[in-house]
Amino acid sequence: DGGITQSPKYLFRKEGQNVTLSCEQNLNHDAMYWYRQDPGQGLRLIYYSQIVNDFQKGDIAEGYSVSREKKESFPLTVTSAQKNPTAFYLCASRGFPDTQYFGPGTRLTVL
Amino acid sequence: AQKVTQAQTEISVVEKEDVTLDCVYETRDTTYYLFWYKQPPSGELVFLIRRNSFDEQNEISGRYSWNFQKSTSSFNFTITASQVVDSAVYFCALIKAAGNKLTFGGGTRVLVKP
């Protein structure tokens, strides 16, 4: 089945640790996105990538990093510089026309 | 800058009632897309419908229908004969054509009681 997978579903991080969230898609989409959702709020764009080896900052990129070495994969690293990382993280890829399809999400909690 | 406003934070209905969700948007772009997404308790954001700025024809798809009015910058969404499985948070979103940033509203929580 075609779709977007994210892992892990739940992630716990200690203060000062970097953690990496996985996002994989087999939809053959070029563009991929990372969003953050805080309780009771809409989504905010962290980073996006339109093609392999290229990515752009979104509205809240500070404390996050990404890579795009393969078309299918767009991992997000939450660094220790992100002061309030506890949130729900959603990955998406863009199909035609301009429609973003989302993965199941990763819930990150800082202990 | 783009902005999407969903004034209703929560709606509670009894099963089989119709539910209409309001969405008002602001954009300076002439070509754009509007969306409705559903977020059930599991958390995944599910794409429901899309409408482009050049097509104001209102449509019905199963129990879903939408009313796009460019003159009032509104994109309302109706669930007919609601079911318990419709209980979720619904987000309205906007993106300019060929753009990358989806602008979301704050969401409306729908609770359908049996």
Q: What is the pLDDT of residues B95-108, one digit of tens each?
A: 998 888 899 999 99
Q: Mention every residue, 6+ apart, whose C-beta is less than 8 A from residue A98.
A: B33, B95, B97, B98, B99
Q: What distance in Å separates residue B105's CA from the closest CA in chain A?
A: 6
Per-residue pLDDT of A4-41, as tens digits, reads 999 999 999 888 889 999 999 999 999 999 999 998 88
- Rounded CA-CA distance A103/A89 in Å is 9
pLDDT confidence tier of residue B93, bands split at 50, 70 and 90 = very high
pLDDT of residue A82: 87
Is residue B23 predicted with pLDDT exceeding 90? yes
CA-nearest residue to B107 within chain A is A42
Mutation pick from A37, A100, A108, A109 vs chain B, by most beta carbons of B within 10 Å, is A100
Buried b (16+ CB within 10 A) or exposed e, B35-48: bbbbbeeebbbebb
Report chain B residues whose CB lies below 8 A from the CB of A102. 37, 44-47
- Rounded CA-CA distance B95/B98 in Å is 8
- Rounded CA-CA distance A57/A33 in Å is 10
| Cβ atoms < 10 Å from Cβ of B58 | 13
Q: What distance in Å separates residue B93's CA from the closest CA in chain A?
A: 9
pLDDT of residue A40: 81
Comparing CB atoms, the residue among A40, A88, A100 nearest residue B102 is A100
Amino acid at A67: S
